Structure 1
Amino acid sequence: MDNREELYKRFRIFAVPIYYLQRIYGLWRSETAQLTTAVVGTIVIGLAAYRFALFIWTFIRPSTLQRYCHVETGSWAVVTGATDGIGRAWADELAARGFNVLLHGRNPEKLDRVKKELAAKYPRRTLDTVVADASRADHPEQAVMDKVTQLPGKLVILVNNVGGAVVSPTYQTHAAMTPSSIDTVLNTNARFPVQLTSLLLPILKENKPSLILNCGSATANFGIPYLAAYSGTKAFIEGFTRSLDAELEAEFLHKDIEVKCITINNTRSAGNKTEMPVFTIDGGELVRGSLGKVRDGEVIEFGHWRHALQAFVVGLLPGPVLRGYLLDQMRERKAVEEDETAKSR
């Protein structure tokens, strides 16, 4: 008897929670609770299915890009950083879809080569070039503006593609970067596209409907070591795009000028040789997917379904696991680059 009383005293603290758990279990077993659970579950599954179908639709829907190919004298698109990789793919695909293209770059020989190649591929398109070094702070965007005013047609699309780490070595601690290297990254990825957009906006308003496509990066969403300045500029571009889109809506120009930021993940280019199974695509795939997203109502989004899937998978990882993976990957990339540099000396 004494043992029973001792046990009761010791464990009576659990009596109240056990009582309420029994009550809750009894309520859950009732017909009303079962029906409510079934209804809520059906709604949740239905919403998930709807979101998944909407996700699929955004990547298979017909493109509405031709809305911007509307000028009788010829619709023009400006593509910055058009001599290599993704920039070259933007120029190629826009020419294929009926636009004349103004190719921007800093190397006149490369520009002339790309112009000749595209002219041979698309003889019915008009192509022109403009040389301007986006990494400088002496207003190189003015050269693009001057060229636009001389075009034999109207500008309707601006693709702010130029960008990248654009310094050597690519992977280095922020403290190791020289002031001039930091300025190069900031000028190329932030100052130049923002200044150029400001100059060309009045022209795009006059030639509406028109389109502004800014190239972002998934690095804006993660803490990427050894690319601090570059990652920061891409986060800036996302914020700039959102604010500009809201500003155009406030000015009742939202339906006339579309602004979109394409978040780019691992894509083959002159500056990116890293291969990731399934998730690595080439510039052409990225651009075709991105142009299919025109006028889908989103401001910031991935241009290709593989990159969107990659972001979803990465988002399932616990924070510490993801961070540890990124740290290991970036340490490895930095070490490989250092080894290659040492061997080339």
Structure 2
Amino acid sequence: MPPPKLDLDWKEYGPFSFPVFYGQKAYNAWAGDTIQLTAAVVGTAVVFSFLARLGLSIWSYIKPSKLQVYCHSETGSWALVTGASDGIGRAFVDELLDRGFNVMLHGRNREKLERITKALAEQFPRRTIDFVVADASSLDHPEDAVVEKVQQLPGKLTVLVNNVGGVPTKPQYVSLHKITADSIDTQININARFPTQLIRALLPTLQENQPSIILTCGSAGGISGAPYIATYTATKAYVHNLTQSLKAEMVVEGFAPDKKYTKGVEVQGYIIGNTRSAQNTTEMPYFTASARECAKGCLARIGSGKALEYPTWKVAMQIGLMVTLPEAVTRKAVAKEMIARKTQAEKEE
């Protein structure tokens, strides 16, 4: 039942007659049957849309992962993980080996990679493990060394995990005008240039070995930005857009996965929240994940159909709240967190 209409004698309100007259007209128009019906239809549609998105979001954390469809090569399916020496990259390695993949680790420290490879060979005797040394911060086409090693694998590369990234320069938290030009170039090379060039160089191989998948690791900082790590967060926003664009490109080029995932090149990225690693020891109560939890959550989301996913529902909730709040409120909260991190880092130096 529509609300009752007003029938005020606006002339009796003296100096307030003008706003009363137009206020009454506006209210009576709103109370009309047409407006009320339209509002009810629109409101119902909004509610159903919200419930549908919520349901799909919950389902993405329940439905089985499609990771295993990429472990299909008779000669052995291989996964390449960049930045695999520690942190999230190393966790990806352990998870993929545990799921039946052979793994090639990428890093820049040969001695460290040799030690890790030896330990993993003992832990996973039924898997084949290899490594490649390439400095992702270099401008001298480090991706070429990776591609050359991929071409020598005794099986097919079906999974590419673009994990390498971070803020490797010191100090880690610094105002943009105080950071050196070399540090900016290093961060851009590691976080943006190297993964882009590696995808370009390996895409023909992944198309030949389909079904295959490209995974990219982004960051919550790429959504909101953050002071003192401006270059890093900017490169992560780039990675998010690269992922979305590449997924669309695979569709228009005819490489979209079919319904049974028997062919195609899937592309999926992850908006990663606060995760413990060698570079990040900051704890955010309730929202901090271990590297293993993060990697496991990323692999569990494979097959959701979304270009960008969250490793855990906690990160999804955190980012959902962040983008819902007024921008000024979010900026203030992020600034407070980053000031605390910068202060702590300076004490530890």
TM-score scaled by length of structure 1: 0.90
Mean Cα deviation higher: 75-84 or 280-289: 280-289
Q: Provide the rounded CA distance (Å) in 1 between the counterparts of 2:248 and 2:48.
A: 31
Say what the alpha-carbon RMSD is for the aligned residues.
2.0
Q: 1:26 to 1:81 in 2, by over 3 A?
A: closer
**One-letter code of the match for 2:137?**
S
Measure, in 2, the Cα distance between the counterparts of 1:15 and 1:199: 69
* 1:14 counterpart = 2:22: no
* In 2, Cα distance between equivalents of 1:125 and 1:25: 69
Change (3 A) 1:262 1:18: closer
Measured after TM superposition, the shift of residue 48 of structure 1 is 2.4
Verify: 1:140 aligned to 2:142, yes or no: yes
Deviation, 1:244, is 1.6
Q: Which residue of 1 aligns with 2:155?
A: 153
CA gap 1:269/1:33 in 2 versus in 1, 3 angstroms: same
Q: CA shift at 1:14, angstroms? A: 3.5
Question: Among 64, 74, 77, which residue is 2:76 paired with?
Answer: 74
Pick closer, same or farther for the CA change 1:215–1:15 going to 2, 3 Å: closer
AA partner of residue 220 (structure 2): A
Corresponding residue for residue 261 of structure 2: none
Instruction: Give a deviation string over 1:233-254, Cα, whole Å, max 9, x none.
Output: 1111112222222222221112
2:188 alignment partner in structure 1? 186
Conserved 8 A contact 2:103-2:130: yes
Q: 1:273 to 1:35 in 2, by over 3 A?
A: same
CA distance in 2 between partners of 1:19 and 1:308 (Å): 44
Aligned counterparts of 1:8 and 1:172: Cα–Cα separation in 2: 62
User: Which digits, 9 at most, give the CA deviation of each residue in 1:283-306, with x for residues without a partner?
Assistant: 111111111221221112212211
CA distance in structure 2 between the aligned counterparts of 1:212 and 1:78, rounded to whole angstroms: 10
Task: Describe the shift of the 1:244–1:41 C-alpha distance in structure 2 as closer, same or farther (beyond 3 A).
Answer: closer
Distance in 2 between the 1:299 and 1:8 partners? 59
**Shift of the alpha carbon at 1:163?**
0.6
Change over 3 Å in CA distance of 1:41–1:75 after alignment to 2: same
Please give the secondary structure, in 1, of the residue aligned with 2:61.
helix
Gaps of 5+ in 1: 1-5
1:106 CA drift (Å): 0.9
Letter in 1 for 2:217: C
1:180-217 CA-partner distances (Å, limit 9, x unpaired)? 11111111111111111111111111111111001111
Partners of 2:54 and 2:92 in 1: CA distance: 28
Match of 1:292 among 290, 293, 300: 300
Other-structure match for 1:323: 331
Corresponding pairs, count: 333
User: Matched residue of 1:129: which SS?
Assistant: strand
Deviation at 1:167, TM superposition (A): 0.6
Classify 1:139/1:35 alpha carbon distance in 2 versus 1 (closer, same or farther; 3 Å): closer
Report the Cα offset of residue 9 of structure 1.
3.6
Q: Does 1:63 align with 2:65?
A: yes
- Code of the aligned partner of 1:80: T
Task: Tell me how far apart the structure 1 counterparts of residues 180 and 15 of structure 2 sit (CA, whole Å).
Answer: 68
**Partner in structure 2 of residue 220 of structure 1:** 222
Determine what percentage of the aligned residue pairs are the same residue. 50
Question: How big is the shift at 1:38?
Answer: 5.7
Report the counterpart of residue 279 of structure 2 in structure 1. Answer: 271
**AA paired with 1:263?**
I
Alpha-carbon distance in 2 for matches of 1:145, 1:18? 70
Q: Find the aligned partners of 2:83 and 2:23 in 1 and give their Cα distance.
A: 68
- Per-residue CA deviation, residues 290-329 of structure 1 (Å, 9 max, x unaligned), is 1122122111221221110111122232211211122222
Residue 232 (1) aligns with residue 234 (2): yes
How much has 1:7 moved relative to structure 2?
6.8
CA contact (8 A) 2:70 2:159 kept: yes
What is the rounded CA distance, in whole Å, between the counterparts of 1:291 and 1:36 in structure 2? 44
Measured at CA, do residues 228 and 35 of structure 1 come closer, stay the same or move farther in structure 2, by a change above 3 Å? Answer: closer
Distance in 2, matches of 1:215 and 1:25, equals: 49
Residue of 312, 317, 324 corresponding to 1:309: 317
